[in-house]
Amino acid sequence: MIDRGLWTVALALALLGCDRTSSSPTEGGPLAKHRFDSNGGRYSVELETSPNPIQVNQLFDVTLWVTPKNGPAGNLDVQVDARMPAHFHGMTRLAKVTRGSGNSWKAEGMQFHMSGHWELYVDITQGGSTERAQMDVDLK
């Protein structure tokens, strides 16, 4: 089993574009995709940032693919947010989240306005029940 601290570091490095195993060359540079499960285990989330790597105090977008592990993605609502738990605050901007085709969503206008440890949240609501998927991001 992978140590939680090591897993957090690996995810943070991947989000910053340093994980060669999850990167694939695209027109504009490598964009890393990151896979993780929701906290309750009902959903699988794949996430891609643009641009990548994320820069401090610069706007970025997140494209998400949310896949229920049991059943179709029909009635899902997805919201994306982030916060700095050590500073007791979130982002200074609200992301605009729109549904794409199939099981994809796009969160536009995100911004990590300062360096440090961030938690990126993906809240998935289906049938009145919400489950959170989250990943740690250490931005230098």
The domain over range 4-139 is classified in CATH as 2.60.40.1930: yes
Strands (E), 38-128: 43-50, 59-68, 77-84, 89-90, 96-99, 104-111, 116-126
Instruction: Give the per-residue pLDDT at 86.
Output: 94
Site of tokens 């179709």: 72
For 110, residues 6+ apart whose C-beta sits below 8 A from its C-beta are 59, 60, 61, 62, 80, 82, 91, 93, 95
Instruction: Give the per-residue pLDDT at 21.
Output: 28
Instruction: Give the per-residue pLDDT at 102.
Output: 86
pLDDT in tens, 50-91: 998 899 999 999 999 999 998 777 789 999 999 999 999 999
What pTM, to 2 d.p., does this model score?
Answer: 0.74
* Domain positions in the chain: 4-139
pLDDT in tens, 8-61: 433 343 444 333 223 232 233 334 688 999 999 999 999 999 998 899 999 999
Count other C-beta atoms under 10 Å from residue 76's C-beta. 17
pLDDT in tens, 78-126: 999 999 999 999 999 999 999 999 899 999 999 999 999 999 999 999 9
